[in-house]
Amino acid sequence: MNKTLQKLRTELHSLFPERRLVIDGALCAVLAREHVLLLGPPGTAKSALVRAIAQALDASYFERLLTKFSTPEELFGPISLQALEQDQFIRVTTGMLPEAQLAFVDEVFKANSAILNSMLTLINERTFSNGGSPVPVPLISLFGASNELPESRELEALFDRFLLRFEVNYLLRPGNLRAVLSAPEPVAKVSLPLQELQAAQAEVDSVKVTDDTVDALISIREGLKTEGIVASDRRWKKSLRVVQAAAYLGGESETSPEDLAILTDSLWREPKERPKVARTVGKLADPISSQAIEILDAARETAGKVQALKTSDRKAYLAQAAQALEEFRAQQAKLGELGKSAGKRAQASISDAIAEVNGLHAELARSVSTGLGLGMRALR
C-alpha cells in the first residue's frame, strides 16, 4: 500500500465529514481507472471533493456544467478554422475534456445526442475521434454528477459507464455542518505525484483475486436476482477491478470476500435499491460491517425523528429525546460488542459508526440540556 495514498485518504476523510464511503470509492475508481457518478442535490461538496482529489494528484483537470443547450464545443473544443480551410473537421482540444486526466461533468445527464456519442467513446474506449481518426486520451477517471437519474433511454448507456454510483446527501450532524461552515475551501495538503499513482495502479493490477472472492461474488449475483436486481455481465467483470483496488487500499496483496463490500455502490440502478444491495452484499462480503451500518442507519433515523419534533411539539420532543438517548446508549454498546470480533478492515467501519453515534448522542444531550437549563451530566 502506497503510504502517501493512505495519508491522502486520511486527510480527505477529515476534510469531508460523512463522506468516507464516497472518498474510498473515488480513490478505488482512480486506482482502477473507472468512473464515478455522484447523485444528489446541489451544495453537497461533490465538485469540491473531485477538485481536491485532482489537486492532490497534480492531474490535468477539466470541469464543466452541462445544460440542455450545451454544445460539443464546451466539452471537446472549438473547430479549427485553419483546418476547415483545408476541408478538415478538427477540434482544438487544448484544455478541454480530451486532454484531461481527471474530469468532473456536472448535470451529466443533460448531455444531448450531439455530445453523447463522443462522450461514450471517450469514457469507455479512451479515444476521441478528431478529424476522422481516433486519438488516445489520457483520461483516468471521469466523475459525473446529477440531481436525478436519466429519464431517456438514450442516456442509459452513459449511466452504465459509471461503475460506482454514490448518493450524496446533505450533512446529517449539526456539528459537522458547523465545522464545514467555519472551514476554508477544502484543499488537500498531501500530494501524490502521477508517477506514484501509476505505480499504485500497477500494484492494483497485481492484486490476486482469490477463488473465495469469486465464489462470494457469484453468490451475491444470485442473491440479487431473487430481489429483482440484475446487472450486466460486463459490470460484474469490471467490478473485480475496483474490488482489487479496495483490497489494495486496505493494505492487502490479495482479495477476500470482505472487499466485495464496495459493490454495494456499484450494483443498484435506483437509490431505493441500495438497501437491498447493501443487505445482500453485506451478508456475504462483510457481515460485521453490515451490522454496524444497520445500527448506524437506525441511529440516524432516530436522530431525524427527534429533530423533526424540536420546533413543533416541545413535550413530544423531550419524551422522544429521552428515548433516543437510551437507544443511542444501546447502539453504542452493540457496536462495542461487534468490535470485539471484527477484522482489521471491519474495525474501520465500526470505528466510524461509533464516532457518529457518539456524536449524535452528544449533540442531542447538549440540545436538550440547553433547552431545559440542565447540565450535561443530568442527561447521561
Do 273 and 304 have their domain in common?
A: no
Residue 252 lies in a domain: yes
Do 53 and 163 have their domain in common?
A: yes
Do 131 and 261 have their domain in common?
A: no
Whether the pTM exceeds 0.95: the reply is: no
Last residue of a domain, one of 236, 258, 285: 285
Query: What is the SS3 assignment for 127-196?
Result: EEEECCEEEECCCCEEEEEECCCCCCHHHHHHHHCCCEEEECCCCCCHHHHHHHHHCCCCCCCCCCCHHH
State residue 291's pLDDT score.
86
The CATH number assigned to the domain holding 258 equals 1.10.8.80
Do 130 and 157 have their domain in common?
A: yes
Last residue of a domain, one of 182, 215, 234: 182
Do 173 and 273 have their domain in common?
A: no
- pLDDT mean by block of 10 residues, the chain; 380 residues: 90 94 96 97 93 93 95 94 76 95 96 91 94 92 95 89 94 84 90 94 96 95 94 91 95 93 93 91 84 88 82 79 92 91 78 88 84 49
Residues 21-43 have pLDDT tens digits of 999 999 999 999 999 999 999 99
Do 334 and 225 have their domain in common?
A: no
Residue 308 lies in a domain: yes
The CATH number assigned to the domain holding 83 equals 3.40.50.300
Q: How many domains is the chain partitioned into structurally?
A: 3
Instruction: Provide the residue range defining the domain that includes 252.
Output: 206-285
State residue 172's pLDDT score.
80
Do 239 and 127 have their domain in common?
A: no
Do 126 and 139 have their domain in common?
A: yes
Between β-strands 36-39 and 164-167, what pairing exists: parallel, antiparallel or unpaired? parallel
Residue 199 lies in a domain: no
